Amino acid sequence: MTVLPIHNHGLDASRLILGCMGLGGGWTTDPIESAHVKQAQEAVETALDRGIHMFDHADIYAFGKAETVFGQVLQQNPALRERMIIQSKLGIRFPDEAKGVPARYDFSKEYILESVDGILSRLGIDYLDVLLLHRPDALMDAREVAEAFHQLKASGKARYFGVSNMSAGQIRLLQSQLSEKLVVNQLELSLNKIGWLETGIHVNQDAARNNIFPEGTLEYCQMENIQLQAWGSLAKGLYSGASLEDASDNVKSTASLVKRLAEEKQTSREAIVLAWLMKHPAAIQPVIGTTDPSRIQACAEAENVELSRDEWYSLYVSSRGVSLP
């Protein structure tokens, strides 16, 4: 699989990332079972065999069990760590019902440092290759975040830093206090969630009023060499086998087009969906959330798919449901 140098920051990552939210037995407090470890082991081995060596976590996934079960896989085979780039996210706090406190975000220095220690403990590793802030904290003090990042870097607990779900303005604010460049912004980008494209297409158009994707974010990340990662890249399987019983007409027509292109190119539907994202000049790095070995293999085929400009636009226009302005 092609190596993506995270926009010249020296971190050679695979073109695809395996998202690990589905590991650990789900969003319950039930204990981890041997079947969950086996599932994680098979997903990891399949990914590595297909050249996918970057893995995306978050401290909240499966209430921490996703990281824990991944750590158990590493414990069984410690040599795997040197073949991996491991990324995790922090900053989302669950509700504390006993204290009457709702779910909230927390980028305080104390919480960042505490969270990283928890992540490393669950994964059973000494450092994270990349640490991301999960969702914007309305009370973020950029100077305090910078202090936490500096301490993590100095201690060797995190090597690179980035963000998730942030606009260009939020990244600029944070970057203004940091001594080193942020390397990643992870956003929801897919053939179904196309606001990132619509923002540019709808310049000087009334339709722009209904688009919530922050204007200029895509361009800013490209200009500043911030790697764009796409969560939700497979659009929950809408175009690769999920039930379309309640889907809109444009989703159904797009699913049909994806299927036709996959048949013509003798590849998987997953590969077509991902290749569409990967054709964009921003060098988008899709995060695939499946733990099914057969789907991981199907996704890996995306690197061998070349969509023409006409095919790319056919998929885009089909997804949006109306002609371009």
Return the active site residues: 61
H helices present in 124-216, as ranges: 142-155, 168-175, 195-201
260 to each of 254, 266, 269, 272, 291, how far by Cα in Å?
10, 10, 9, 10, 25
Rounded-to-5 percentages of helix, strand, coil across the chain: 45, 15, 40
Measure the CA–CA gap between 269 and 263, rounded to whole angstroms.
8
How far, in Å, CA of 281 to CA of 222, rounded? 9
Radius of gyration of the chain (CA): 20
Q: Residue 227: what residue type?
A: Q
C-alpha to C-alpha distance for 70 and 13, rounded to whole angstroms: 19
> What residues contact residue 44 under an 8 Å CB cut-off, 6+ apart?
18, 55, 70, 73, 80
161 secondary structure, DSSP code: E
CA dihedral sign of residues 22, 132, 182, 54: negative
CB atoms within 10 A of CB 284: 24
92-93 and 104-105 beta bridge pairing: antiparallel
Residue 123: is it exposed, middle or buried by C-beta count within 10 angstroms (0-12/13-18/19+)? buried
Phi, psi values for residue 62, rounded to 5°: 50, 35
The token pair at 311 is 């095919």
